[in-house]
Structure 1
Amino acid sequence: MEENNSTRNKYKTTLAKYKTNLNDADIQAQVATLIEKKVPENNTEEVKKLLFNCIDLTTLNTTDSDESVMRFTEKVNQFDDEFPDLKNVAAICVYPNFAAIVKNTLEVEGVNIACVAGGFPSSQTFTEIKIAETALAIVDGADEIDIVISVGQFLNNDYETMCDDIQEIKETCHDHHLKVILETGALQTASNIKKASILSMYAGADFIKTSTGKQQPAATPEAAYVMCEAIKEYHQKTGNKIGFKPAGGINTVNDALVYYTIVKEILGEEWLNNKLFRLGTSRLANLLLSEIKGEEIKFF
């Protein structure tokens, strides 16, 4: 019993080092000001090229098949020939059972294979299953793993169960990047998003990510703002640089510019690369290409 209490206190002690008591209305106002003042200056071709290079090109459909994932991957192969002046996407993100298909089909350099795992998108399964799914995805070729926190445990203040999950999955990942999805729409408040961000990083996340895209609301500028503030504070206290990935509901180029601007203003230029900044989306790829090239392009 004593050990349980000391473990619980460990997480509370960690959270106490950070500013987690946030006012939602204040955050909204700060984000609105930031967007109005700073987004227009980032609406450049150079920024759009960088954003394209930060995309995790994603297919997470019930209808995905070996054939459809193969075609999806072949498009990424063809991209280098069609657009030799542009850098390719950062990664292809698929369900874990398709990791081998992507690995066997992908021919271009510098594009990673990301897999959702750990009982995605609800995280409602046994930790042993989460670990096995992660391990199998890595064996089949995944470079990166995206998991969801145990949202229900977090909201029930059971930080120990939530963090143990992340820690064990990170141990399974070894050097492979672990992106931890907070499902910010289910967390509801800025304070909860800040706490979940801190705990996820503390437990071993290499990236924190807003959403699965399976629950509404998905990514929002307010959630991104709070998460980037958490990453900044965590970096100041620990020296560790954690990446940021908005995902879900990124429907326009302007949406992407908003997230770029938040990262730039809060975390700075050193975060503006695909080692520390990703965008989880599929529809954005064609929209960015169209704006970069000045004509409608439906390549992907």
Structure 2
Amino acid sequence: MAYTKDIEPTIQPGSLKAKVENGRKSNEPKEDKYEQALHKYNCDVDEAQVKTAVEKIIAEKVPENDNEEVKKFLLGSVELTSLHTTDTEESILAMTEKVNKFDEAYPDLPHVATICVYPNFAHIVSQSLEVDGVEVAVVSGSFPSSQTFIEVKVAETALAIKDGATNVDIVLPVGKFLSGDYEGLADDIDELKQTCGEVPMKVILETCDLGNLSNVKKAALLAMYSGADYIKTSTGKEKQGATPEGVYVMAQAIKEYYEQTGRVVGLKPAGGINTVKDAVTYYTIVKEVLGEQWLTNELFRLGTSRLTNLLLSDVLGKDTKWY
């Protein structure tokens, strides 16, 4: 099918974009609902205060969580990820088969929470995955940049879901955020959430590109107000991944959003999680800020590829390379 620049994007009734279009047709002044939403929260984050709070958590609380029970839980919260230019159907199938055989090899350990791949591999994972309780996640919406037409993002997401994706990770339009186009940002996220329907959608903030922790909090809140079921730190494709300070601020945003709306949103640190201690640190921050309610593998996920074998080795007490 040929596409031309004359094609007008379809606007779904009831969407944020439709409401905006209807607003433009009237002479009534348009209300800046996004700024109003942010004004309900203190988005002026004191970075020194956050650094001190995080250092205190790491010094006083991380040691008590550095145990086998927590590491087993973390193993069951991992999103086993392969997002390489060199990925092939054969390599994704081989990764999926390792998940299938894990239960037989390690019956007393939890399996990973998710297999995360590019959208064109969703059908391979969906058709070959034999383990109950493992989700099929895809990165969609022009990952990792989010820089394309919304119609392309919607089509990619819809096709991945049709092929069996049960989780969708999209990237927050960072350029729109930095230029102050909160309306355009919210429209993108809202339309993709409508495409996902009941399929949980994670919004990746790409925290390292946001400039400061105040922006991290604003981006987290805007993502949640626009329909995010999870907020996620990073794509793993930029200069830096998750940081304890970023995760702390995102957890605070989730807590405050929950107190305002009653809506529970999950958290996924991802990118640069290189050690077991990193994983235990993020677990501890979530526990201290959000509490036990968020310590399930449905609400707390870890986006990583290398961590799985490290956790497995720690739990078993010997070097193990299953994945």
Equivalent residue for 1:237?
A: 260
> How many angstroms does 1:30 deviate by?
1.3
User: For 1:42-90, what per-residue CA distance to the aligned partner results, in whole angstroms no more than 9, with x for missing partners?
Assistant: 0010000000000100000000000000001100001011100011000
Distance 1:23 1:8 in 2: 29
Distance 1:7 1:111 in 2: 44
Q: Does 2:194 correspond to 1:171?
A: yes
Distance 2:119 2:322 in 1: 25
Q: Does 2:179 correspond to 1:151?
A: no
Partner secondary structure for residue 147 of structure 1:
strand
Q: Does 2:277 correspond to 1:247?
A: no
* Bigger Rg, which one: 2
Equivalent residue for 2:163?
A: 140
Q: Does 2:92 correspond to 1:69?
A: yes
> How many angstroms does 1:7 deviate by?
5.6
Q: Does the 8 Å CA contact 1:118/1:147 hold for their aligned counterparts?
A: yes
> Which one of the candidate residues 276, 279, 287 is aligned to 2:299?
276
Partner secondary structure for residue 264 of structure 1:
helix
CA RMSD of aligned residues (A): 1.3
> How many angstroms does 1:116 deviate by?
0.2
Distance 1:221 1:8, change over 3 A: farther
> How many angstroms does 1:275 deviate by?
1.0
Q: Does the 8 Å CA contact 1:94/1:115 hold for their aligned counterparts?
A: yes
Q: Does the 8 Å CA contact 1:234/1:240 hold for their aligned counterparts?
A: yes
Distance 1:144 1:108 in 2: 16
> How many angstroms does 1:34 deviate by?
1.2
Equivalent residue for 2:8?
A: none
Distance 1:71 1:37, change over 3 A: same
Q: Does 2:120 correspond to 1:97?
A: yes
Q: Report the number of matched residues.
A: 300
Distance 1:222 1:278 in 2: 17
Distance 1:108 1:265 in 2: 32
> How many angstroms does 1:104 deviate by?
1.3
Equivalent residue for 2:41?
A: 18
> How many angstroms does 1:3 deviate by?
3.7
Partner secondary structure for residue 93 of structure 1:
strand
Range 4-13 or range 151-160, more displaced: 4-13
Unaligned runs of 5+ in 1: none
Q: Does the 8 Å CA contact 1:115/1:145 hold for their aligned counterparts?
A: yes
Range 7-16 or range 146-155, more displaced: 7-16
| TM-score, length-scaled by structure 1 | 0.98
User: For 1:207-265, what per-residue CA distance to the aligned partner results, in whole angstroms no more than 9, with x for missing partners?
Assistant: 00000000021100000000000000000010001000000000000000000000000
Distance 1:105 1:265 in 2: 38
| TM-score, length-scaled by structure 2 | 0.91
Identity across matched positions, percent: 58
> How many angstroms does 1:6 deviate by?
5.9
Range 51-60 or range 25-34, more displaced: 25-34
Equivalent residue for 1:82?
A: 105
Q: Does 2:43 correspond to 1:32?
A: no
Distance 1:10 1:64 in 2: 42
Q: Does 2:270 correspond to 1:266?
A: no
Distance 2:173 2:30 in 1: 17
Output the amino acid matched with 1:201.
M
Unaligned runs of 5+ in 2: 1-19
Partner secondary structure for residue 115 of structure 1:
strand
Regions of 4+ moved over 3 Å: 1-8
Distance 2:308 2:30 in 1: 44
Output the amino acid matched with 1:194.
K
Output the amino acid matched with 1:78.
K
Equivalent residue for 1:57?
A: 80
Distance 1:7 1:230, change over 3 A: farther
Higher-helix-fraction structure: 1
Where do residues 79-228 of structure 1 align in structure 2 (5 Å cutoff)?
79-228=102-251
Output the amino acid matched with 1:70.
L
Equivalent residue for 1:47?
A: 70
Output the amino acid matched with 2:89.
D
> Which one of the candidate residues 281, 285, 288 is aligned to 2:311?
288
Distance 1:6 1:142 in 2: 41
